[in-house]
Chains A and B, each alone.
Chain A
């Protein structure tokens, strides 16, 4: 086994609604600094899986551990305090605050200062917020009202917020949904760079296969609640079942990706 520690370990995760098995016996591991994609057709159980990982949904059975500590069934805010940052499919920020204040709130929360009724928030963690904003390329917008930002910038701000608790693990639900093609590439390159530099593990779901195959180190394929394939992008792309169910067949598709890979 490699020396890189296991960050996230999921064992036998199961959830059903009535008679429908949304997720059935899903197990996988994620190592520090690794970027793992969870893909699959609509209704495969990606969102259910994700919601259980970040505490918005409680599994029927199975275990989730982050750095060895059990997070199964814990509330999102508790999981966040255990070092898990996250972004949402539709970016969630605080629109009535400035960009800097958005990050400051997360930093203040991380610093355990939420019950402070007296100090001025403006002076709390100001520089640290600025550093995080510089990291995601939003430093120049620090004093702008968050509600005025273009959507691509909101996504980058959200990434800065998600990094405020110095997470070990980043959960990103369709990080590039609703963005223009160029913004997608930029955001994922940024995420990958930060993940490598700080050796953060990233788990993301995504429908854009260009993004998935360019950035994921490893891919999990989910269909009807069960994992049907797991492996490197090349392995998954070559998997006949995955092609039949999800990726589809096509010479053009292959050609485009070979081109993309060599470029």
Chain B
């Protein structure tokens, strides 16, 4: 019995930190409507800065002072980020906001390694809370008891802040209707900045307070952000009390889940989240959101199939690409195969994100499932390569069918958070289920058969499959199903009113996208000869998002161009620098701020302007779109 009590208390202690971070995210979302993906990065920065400060200044004053100063320093960094970056994108579609803060996260990860080094750092114990308390023979660290008390105290302070101060009243008003608050003459800029500062302060404090419990490392940002997303999805985005209750719930599920499913305890959290989403899609304490802003909103050109000339040009490009083995060496062919595979991956996400309006932040899960499908079939069942290539992606299909069912119940930022959480769950399973997946060591020796073994043959195979995938997805885009999908994206109200079952259409699209991503993963497994958990990691999901964005979210063929340019650039970059995440993150931020239409989108706009140069200067569509994006 005592053991369970201690386990329960450990859960409560973990909840404190989680609550701080989640409430910060909720407060920022409530006022600015930005889901701050960089929140985990601020949490991590808080821990690192606190580590440095507490190492430098000794004693109780040095420790506790260091924790608070660290949170303040990181909050100041947050203010800088808000003023320089976020102010430029408050009116952008939410996908762009998510991506910009994601780019920031990537940059911070590399910067942290650059400053503090790649090794785990073990911090000091908290002065005054170094010991443990004996509870019927079980030890409870006294620092845990401190955290258990701290959680409700912070909740109370936040409550007083929001109920009793003028600033708090303004924040609550802005959470309900920020346009009205602005109309009443409140300086929105500083309100947003101060709210962001408070949110970041809470995140950094949460990170700093973890020092005595856990080693500081450069992967803690993603781990916490996934947990925080789960917390806010369960508790309801924008609700502080929801963040508290859900943080306790998730931490306790983790604490006890370990006893029930020692290997894959995260499954339990997932099940609870799934149940909450079915019963209350907006979380336990959340309110239904107004329909999300549509991601499209930048282009004027309606989509159309290729003209005959354009088709001939596409075939010509394909023929030229197919001639590569006659001029290029083996290295170039391997790079070519990889690019072709990522074209498949990018078009699969494009289908979901641009056509379906569902920006998945965890699309790599299905890529990875396809790869693992192939590896398991080839190594365990010993099936021939063709069979593996055809059956392997079915694992991606299966995963997409299960997760997609839940994900399409939501939209906008909730959808993004949920898909990210799902991908992280799949990743954890691959990482933890060592007996089947080999864990961190992956599955090795998945080599293609003789007929596809040479670099040129494998290149042709990849190129052929890529061309086929692109053509098939394009046909679907312009099919009645594709139109129904776009209709659901454009106007859920109208599509329902013309008999379209939007959820089922989106679910089907999710499954199609997951299967095609699985196909890409299947080829990738043979290209590399091995699969690892990182084949379903977050950075791969981000790669896909950037490829689509770089090409142009609102174009039909943007994903293809984006994948080729990005992958070529990426391979070159990795060979040139160790700080690829920093460059990549900076690249993402730059695209979002300066180049939101992408390559193909910009070209199309340019052609459109040239064709229409004589007619009206400003398009009424663009103005109305900008208005609706407010």
Contact = CB atoms under 8 A, between A and B. Distances in A.
A64 to B, nearest CB: 16
B300 A145 contact: yes
Interface string B481-525: 111101100110111111111000100100000000000000000
Given A96-B302, A97-B486, A147 B479 contact: no
B499 A94 contact: no
A145 B501 CA distance: 24
Interface string A86-109: 101000111111100100111011
Interface residues of A, number: 42
Interface stretch (A21-29, A74-82, A133-141): A74-82
A117 interface: yes
Q: Most chain-A Cβ atoms within 10 A of its Cβ — which of B498, B500, B624?
A: B498
8 contacts: A77-B496, A95-B490, A113-B480, A114-B505, A116-B480, A121-B480, A124-B480, A148-B620
B255 to A, nearest CB: 39
B302 A145 contact: yes
B300 A116 contact: no
B522 to A, nearest CB: 21
B619 interface: yes
B151 interface: no
Contact of A94 (B482, B490, B621, B624): B490
A120 interface: yes
Contact of B479 (A80, A119, A148): A119
B305 interface: yes
A160 to B, nearest CB: 11
A262 to B, nearest CB: 39
A220 interface: no
A158 B493 CA distance: 12
Nearest to A87: B497
A148 B619 contact: yes
A115 interface: yes
Contacts of B300: 145, 147-148
Q: Which 4 A-B pairs have the closest CB atoms?
A: A92-B494, A94-B490, A147-B621, A106-B498
Interface string A130-166: 0000000000000001011010000000100110110
B470 to A, nearest CB: 15
Interface string A165-189: 1000000000000000000000000
Contacts of B491: 92-95
Interface in B242-256: none
Given A54-B497, A93-B491, A116-B479, 6 more contacts: A105-B495, A105-B500, A115-B508, A120-B305, A120-B479, A164-B498
B348 to A, nearest CB: 15
Contacts of B479: 116-121
B499 to A, nearest CB: 5
Contact of A108 (B301, B483, B493, B496): B483
Contact of B302 (A98, A104, A114): A98
B476 interface: yes
A95 B299 CA distance: 11
A110 interface: yes
B498 to A, nearest CB: 4
Q: Most chain-A Cβ atoms within 10 A of its Cβ — which of B303, B483, B625?
A: B483
A72 to B, nearest CB: 18
Interface residues of B, number: 35
B487 A105 contact: yes
B302 A86 contact: no
Contacts of B619: 148
Contacts of A93: 490-491, 494
Q: Most chain-B Cβ atoms within 10 A of its Cβ — which of A54, A81, A92, A119?
A: A92
Interface in A29-75: 54, 75
B475 interface: yes
A92 B628 CA distance: 13
B478 interface: yes
Contacts of B483: 97, 101, 104-105, 108, 121
Contacts of A148: 300, 619-621
B368 interface: no
A62 B599 CA distance: 57
Interface of A: 54, 75-77, 80-81, 86, 88, 92-98, 101, 104-106, 108-110, 113-122, 124, 145, 147-148, 150, 158, 161-162, 164-165
B503 to A, nearest CB: 11
Contact of A120 (B478, B490, B493): B478
A121 B479 CA distance: 5
A96 B426 CA distance: 35
B476 A117 contact: yes
Nearest to A95: B490
A101 B304 CA distance: 11
A71 to B, nearest CB: 14
Contacts of B505: 114
Contacts of B475: 117-118
B486 A114 contact: no
A113 B483 CA distance: 11
Nearest to B484: A114
Nearest to B500: A109
Given A76-B496, A120-B305, A114 B478 contact: no
Contact of A121 (B482, B498, B620, B624): B482
A80 B497 contact: yes
Contacts of A96: 296, 302-303, 486, 490
A253 to B, nearest CB: 34
Nearest to A106: B498
A80 B500 CA distance: 10
Interface in B279-334: 296, 300-303, 305
A80 B625 CA distance: 29
A247 B432 CA distance: 72
A114 B486 CA distance: 12
Contacts of A113: 480
Given A93-B494, A117-B476, A105 B484 contact: yes
A93 to B, nearest CB: 6
Contacts of B499: 77, 80-81, 106, 109-110, 114, 165
Interface string B149-184: 000000000000000000000000000000000000
B481 to A, nearest CB: 5
A94 B491 CA distance: 6
Contacts of B490: 93-97
B481 A117 contact: yes
